[in-house]
Amino acid sequence: MFRSLRNTDCEQVAVNINGNLFQVPAGSSVWAALALAKDTITRMAPVSEQPRSAYCAMGVCFECLVEIDGQPNRQACLTQVSAGMHIVKQNIVQSSQAEVAMYQPLCEGNSKGKTHD
Amino acid sequence: MTNSMQALSEHAVTSFDIAIIGAGPAGMMAAITASATGAKIVVLNDKPSVGGQIYRNVDRSPLVDSSVLGKDYLAGADLVAQFNQCIDAENNNVQIFNNANVWHIGDDGELLFSYNGQSNSVQAKQVIVATGAMERPFPIPGWHLPGVMSAGSAQVMLKSDALVTDDAVFVGSGPLLYLIVAQYLRLGVTVKALIDTTPKTNYVNAMSKALNALAQPSMLIKGVGLLNEIRRSGTPVYRFVSELKITESAQKADSIQFICKGEQVTLNSDQFFLHQGVIPNLNATRALGIQHHWNQQQLCWQPTLDQWGCSDVEHISVAGDSSGIVGADGARLMGHVAALNCLSKLALVSQTERNNQAVDSLRQLALLNRFRTFIDRLYQPQAAHRIPRDEATVVCRCEEQNVQQLKYEFDRGAKGPNELKSMSRCGMGPCQGRMCGTTVSELLADWREEPVGDVGYYRLRSPMRLLSLVELSKFNTLSAPPPEVVQIHTGSQQ
């Protein structure tokens, strides 16, 4: 179990990790926030669908891929926390189905098809 | 800092004399050296602050007393201060982008990098790659489980976030492993055990290079001192172990089993840190397509360079640990030498001046390299921990390919790394082979009974980092016409 040796009087920010609110030191990496929250499973392995967690904590292994503010495949160790950030364990695996609602049918005219900015 | 605030506008193309990738000791020293001539320099650093892994947060430690991290770490503060002076200098010739992820280096000197969720392009006449080292993968049964991390990660967490964990088991070999254990003990963090995997034969082999080690007595004393510090603390130390295996319970690492002095030992813990030395971080130079070779002394791939760190592509140099493991001091010296050579190619210093200014650094580098022959032999990782025999051991963590699956594809004809990749997906995941590439080269060499150098490595391509399609779609300068054409057609731009 990880613990922090940092001064407790340092500036804190609130982040949401898998639906729970935590106060973590400003400037922490997302991975450090997960470690302090004792919620260290970052993603599911895409083939075996087993839980995985960070290995290198320095941007090399890509094991700590999480969803941050709705965007998947973010490296928790290379991303710094910001106030109000939503961090969610990444559940995308081989058998995942894309959410059909995300896609607008292209044949329904250009105005509707252009959803990205 | 003001320079990095001056963010490149979307799609901007900016020209520099020298682009430096990485801000560890090599990158910082290269920038310091080159800035003295007024050369226009850009430093692209993928970390939030400068210092690399070795001097991470040296000027902003979250620890109450960072002296526990040791003198070598604190010594980095001078270099960081010197570098920051260059950034703040009035002539404004050095720009730094922190949190800038380079994802493409073109052989025309174009660099593409992600910054604040946007891709940007810069053009450089000379490029110095100083992307440092990564820890050598440690493919033993169970190394992929949650609760197993690298020892380097323990140090990164300590330096950047003052994070520690009690009762962890440290496993492996090499100075970095002993250093982090000593740092934990100095901070009053309990360590369950140190399992030293250095084989007995290494001590014998290293003796033949002992004279080289005596050339650097202070470094020799440092290493011995760390081990003594650990022993005096009463931390259990297991030496000359074999048959390492991490077992799981409830999908997390739960214990480590091994044989020591002929007896089976089991240690329970919820955190294991593995380490067996470092290897060059080569995804940038591999994607660039410069020449590489297998270094049998360090058992790793490295770019093929001249004494100035220059590759077979004239405007690409590599300095520091990404050129072959040289350590922090060696990296600083190489950064100096590589920058001088770039300046000479840019005609900002004469060749004579380059030679005169580099002579000291080159001499010190030669001394350090002699010492390294001793260290490399002493801490050479065992074959059993580099070339896994156990069939269920995961080799490619991203695509979850184990030894048995790879051997099956090898027997079906996948004799080289690229064929193996196509047939098994090994090396095709988000880490782009960083965690399996070296293991795959050595495994194939073993199965083929041929030298690793003949087996080769994956053919890597840009982008070198994960890039969202949204970011890529916003970026449209890839096929932009050269600057002079842009001028003529200014009206049609945007």
Could you tell me which residues are beta bridge partners of residue A3? Answer: B164
pLDDT for the residue numbered B411 = 98
> b or e along A64-100 (b: 16 or more beta carbons within 10 Å of the residue's beta carbon)?
bbbbbeeeebbbbbbbbbeeebebebbeeeeeeeeee
Whole-number Å distance between alpha carbons of B30 and B140:
38
Do B163 and A53 count as a contact with CB atoms less than 8 A apart? no
Whole-number Å distance between alpha carbons of A56 and A51:
16
| 3-state secondary structure (DSSP) of residue B279 | strand
Contact indicator for B316, B338 with CB cutoff of 8 Å: no
pLDDT of B470 higher than 80: yes
Q: Is B399 on the interface with A (CB under 8 A)?
A: yes
Task: Give the DSSP letter of residue B322.
Answer: B
Token digits of residue B419: 């064929």
The mean predicted confidence, pLDDT, of chain B is 91
Which of B147, B271, B397 lies closest to A63 in CB terms? B397
Residues B243, B182, B26: CA angle, nearest 5 degrees? 95
- Measured in Å, how far apart are chain B's first and last C-alpha atoms? 30
Per-residue pLDDT band at B4 (split at 50, 70, 90): very low
Q: Is the pLDDT higher at A89 or at B220?
A: A89
Whole-number Å distance between alpha carbons of B191 and B94:
44
Look at residues B437, B395, B80 and name the one whose alpha carbon lies nearest to residue B283: B437
Whole-number Å distance between alpha carbons of B297 and B196:
21
Could you tell me which residues are beta bridge partners of residue B195? Answer: B171, B238
Could you tell me which residues are beta bridge partners of residue B267? Answer: B256
> Helices marked H in B36-113 — which ranges?
71-74, 76-88
Q: Which ipTM value was assigned to this complex?
A: 0.91
Q: Between chain A and chain B, how many beta carbons pairs sit less than 8 Å apart?
A: 124
Give B-chain residues touching A1 at CB under 8 angstroms. 165-166, 270-271
pLDDT in tens, B353-411: 999 999 999 999 999 998 899 999 999 999 999 999 999 999 999 999 999 999 999 99
Mutation target among A13, A42, A62 for the B interface, most CBs of B within 10 A: A62
Within 10 angstroms of residue B371's Cβ, the number of other Cβ atoms is 21
Do A1 and B429 count as a contact with CB atoms less than 8 A apart? no
Chain A residue with minimum CA distance to B57: A27
pLDDT for the residue numbered B148 = 98
Contact indicator for B340, B357 with CB cutoff of 8 Å: yes
Handedness of CA B474, B289, B405, B294 (dihedral sign): negative
| Lowest pLDDT segment from A32-41, A47-56, B106-115, B325-334 | B106-115
Per-residue pLDDT band at B469 (split at 50, 70, 90): confident
Per-residue pLDDT band at B107 (split at 50, 70, 90): confident
Give B-chain residues touching A28 at CB under 8 angstroms. 161
Give the Å distances, CA to CA, from B485 to B9, B12, B110, B120, B489: 20, 15, 17, 20, 6
pLDDT of B491 higher than 50: no
Quote the pTM value: 0.91
pLDDT in tens, A21-73: 999 999 999 999 999 999 999 999 999 999 999 999 999 999 999 999 999 99
Whole-number Å distance between alpha carbons of A73 and B398:
12
